[in-house]
Structure 1
């Protein structure tokens, strides 16, 4: 318990420091690859979210998903790559190779599909090499470049709104 409190404290400091260095996107390029970061505690239908994105003209191989889980059930089989708080050290370093590969992939857009501020998720969003980041309005405004107001459960409305703004911004 003490370790968890201490870990949250240090992750919070790490996130605050990285957010101060955050730069706005410089290039106006079209979106061809999408990364999706999902908090399974509040939205467990990552595959339906991917299908909704595919309905807007993207192919499945253009979309990668990373799922954040609070706890891992040992016998449960998960299709998407995932991580738990145990995979993140007290200094914010990631120990899982799949997650490191996801964060190092230079996506054209990262969708941060979570609306509860968790420093573990925020550190992942900040460390991502994505050019353009999109998320909910309940998260720190410095994490995302485009903020859309909505509810996690209403994913169809959120994706429709996102693609409406991407057309306005000439990103698709």
Structure 2
């Protein structure tokens, strides 16, 4: 899950994961945007606050499917505490969750301390850690 509100390098982030050996078919991405332009076509499934109702329920099918998938690893690629993103991370059925240390540390099992724009360092630290736990 990537917050594309303030991050323009989603494709580069995904490519960095592929360079580390993650097969394309094993990467599932949903993107969050603070403002969704109905006239724009997005490269990946994109959601916003309008896809969550006042009860905190997800109203978009692709997002429900994403949250209910039992991924081995969820990357919560956002470094600002956003209630909607934090709710999606919390509801995710992923076995292992990784995010930024700037976000509530109860949400993720492992936190990486870096800047949002420094996706190469984020991926490098992620794989360094994953190799150590094998």
What TM-score do you get using the length of structure 2 for normalisation? 0.97
SS at match of 1:65: coil
Moved more, 49-58 or 72-81: 72-81
User: Which residue, 44, 47, 57 being the options, matches 1:83?
Assistant: 47
Higher relative contact order (CA 8 A, sep 6+): 1
User: Does residue 107 in structure 1 map to residue 71 in structure 2?
Assistant: yes
User: Which residue, 105, 112, 116 being the options, matches 1:148?
Assistant: 112
Q: Tell me the distance in 1 between the aligned counterparts of 2:9 and 2:45.
A: 14
Aligned length: 134
Aligned position for 1:122: 86
Q: Tell me the distance in 2 between the aligned counterparts of 1:90 and 1:44.
A: 29
Deviations 1:44-91 (A, max 9, x none): 221111100000111111001010011111221112111110111122
Deviations 1:99-133 (A, max 9, x none): 01111111000000000000100000011110000
User: Does residue 41 in structure 1 map to residue 1 in structure 2?
Assistant: no
What TM-score do you get using the length of structure 1 for normalisation? 0.76
Q: Which runs of 5+ in 2 are unaligned?
A: none
Counterpart mapping for 1:1-172 below 5 A: 37-170=1-134
Residues 58 and 64 in structure 2, CA contact (< 8 A), matched pair in contact too: yes
Residues 38 and 65 in structure 1, CA contact (< 8 A), matched pair in contact too: yes
Q: Tell me the distance in 1 between the aligned counterparts of 2:33 and 2:99.
A: 18
Larger radius of gyration: 1
The two structures, once aligned, show a CA RMSD in angstroms of 0.8
Q: How much does 1:40 deviate? A: 0.9
